[in-house]
Chains A and B, each alone.
Chain A
Amino acid sequence: MAKKAKSRTIAVRLVSMALTGYYKTLIRPRTHRPLSMLKYDPVVRKKVLFLEQKRGGR
């Protein structure tokens, strides 16, 4: 049976680098480079760097 086609976009998790456990889930094209951005972390109440978590099968 033919394999199901992979979707063009994927949902990724951007975790706060303040190590608060806070994260945001975004959608990016599968072929795009990993996302990273400055965003507000409500736990430390500051704008901090958010980096995309490496995705690995369990």
Chain B
Amino acid sequence: MSSRQYIKLAGSLPPRLTRFFARYPPQALLSQSTPPTSSTPAQKHPVTGKWHDPVFSLRRQAELVKLARQHGVEELLPYTVKGTEERLRRRAENGLRVKGTGVGQRVKGKESERTLKGRLEKRRQAMLEMPQMIQTWKERGHGRGWKKWPK
């Protein structure tokens, strides 16, 4: 595309997209010498080693992609995990798999869910010993001689 076409295109886009493209022009427009500026993934600072949040949050990235797709200019956006191509690739890779259910993964679950089996087993054991316990309780004068009170 020539620059004239780009200018015409920019006029037809919603202001939100033009603002984005003004800040992060598509690679095709940039001269080869300028390094690509990235706005989307979280970045590690080269000197301090600290992580910086992405300039555009995942939610805003998704919104921009949607808007760009509506106007047919998605390929001009920089790479983002919210892009259609990336989404299709993930869908092909994972199918309709629910997160955490893949090979080698497991769902942690609530504490009550994790300990349920053990608690039921303990209860079952206690119920097996219950007739014997009641028998001794009756023999010891209905609690008069009882020594083992629960904590």
Residues of A within 8 A of B (CB): 15, 17-20, 33-38, 43-44, 46, 48-49, 51-54, 56
Contact = CB atoms under 8 A, between A and B. Distances in A.
Contact of A34 (B122, B134, B149): B149
Q: Classify the interface of chain A: helix, strand, loop or mixed.
A: loop
Interface string B124-148: 0011001001100100001110100
Interface of B: 119, 122-123, 126-127, 130, 133-134, 137, 142-144, 146, 149-151
Q: Classify the interface of chain B: helix, strand, loop or mixed.
A: helix
B149 A51 contact: yes
A34 B126 contact: no
Contact of A52 (B126, B127, B134, B149): B149
Contact of A54 (B122, B123, B144, B149): B149
A19 B144 contact: no
